[in-house]
Amino acid sequence: MPKWALAYLALTLVALAIGFEKAMTAPTEATMGNLYRVFFYHLPHAIISFVFPYLNCVASFAYLYWRNRDADRAAAADAFALASAEMTVLYASIGLATGSLWGRAAWGIWWAWDARMTTYLLLWLLYVSYLILRGVSATGQTGVISAVLAIFAAIDVPICFMSIRWWRTQHPAPVFGDGGSVDPVFFPALLWNMAAWAMWGAFLLGMRYAVERRRQRQAAAYAVGFLGSDTAEGLEGAR
């Protein structure tokens, strides 16, 4: 790992520690008691998990553009698309899990088919299916078909969002709390956690991207080895 990456990691860990400290020392919420503190983890993860799909979509377009023009850039775009899709699933899973815990504490139920939650679950499902597709596709065409699926997913999300909103306005569901009213006393904890988890997400994304790039280079080196040159040497060159 380069030095700047280690420095960035150290900075991220400090931010996470401060975020944890702020979250645990924030004043106890009036109605929910200490249980509400999961909110400081739920909100950042949920918000950040909406950023990664955009990165994934942009990387997929870039891949399709570069595919027949610049093989190395295309491979980089593909690695970035994979990394951002995995981050989407990771952050959305944490968002769903913490949300469910919080829902149990605040509303007494684990899950409600309310508009926002349903859309969120669909986002999670879409990117899980993307990862499954990557897992089973034949080596040579993983990039193309997953990029196409990513574009379809990106088209699907707004349609999903609107139609589910209409669905739930036509059949009104119980409305739990109003999202927009957070007491300013919680802002420090919230903002620190926001920043810390965003930094952590960016770090993981970069790591995953680097790992995938290395795997691509090794696979390329192995392929060269099959074609006749010395495999060990090819591997060395790949590093």
Rounded least distance, CB 128 to another protein, Å: 8
Contact predicate 87/197, CB 8 Å: no
Structure tokens at 168: 């739930």
Give the burial class of 83: count Cβ atoms within 10 A of its Cβ; 0-12 exposed, 13-18 middle, 19 or more buried: buried
Q: Which residue has the tokens 């491979």?
A: 75
Nearer to another protein, 167 or 176 (CB): 167
Nearer to another protein, 31 or 68 (CB): 68
Nearer to another protein, 81 or 194 (CB): 81
Rounded least distance, CB 47 to another protein, Å: 22
Q: Assess 133 for contact with another protein (CB under 8 A).
A: yes
Q: Assess 144 for contact with another protein (CB under 8 A).
A: yes
Nearer to another protein, 167 or 226 (CB): 167
Runs of H (alpha helix) within the chain: 3-25, 39-48, 52-66, 71-106, 115-136, 142-170, 187-226, 231-238
Rounded least distance, CB 151 to another protein, Å: 7
Please tell me what DSSP assigns to residue 110: S
Rounded least distance, CB 127 to another protein, Å: 9
Amino acid at 200: W
Nearer to another protein, 18 or 160 (CB): 160
3, 141, 177, 179: which one binds another protein (CB under 8 A): 141
One-character DSSP codes across 169-212: HHSPPPP-S-TT---GGGHHHHHHHHHHHHHHHHHHHHHHHHHH
Determine the longest span between alpha carbons in the chain, in angstroms: 71
Identify residues 44-83 at the interface with another protein (CB under 8 A).
Answer: 64
Please tell me what DSSP assigns to residue 34: G
Q: Assess 138 for contact with another protein (CB under 8 A).
A: yes
Nearer to another protein, 3 or 171 (CB): 171
Structure tokens at 215: 């795997």
Phi, psi torsion values for 8, nearest 5 degrees = -65, -40
Identify residues 147-166 at the interface with another protein (CB under 8 A).
Answer: 148-149, 151-153, 155-156, 159-160, 162-164, 166
Contact residues for another protein, defined by CB under 8 A:
64, 122, 125-126, 129, 132-133, 136-138, 140-141, 144-145, 148-149, 151-153, 155-156, 159-160, 162-164, 166-167, 170
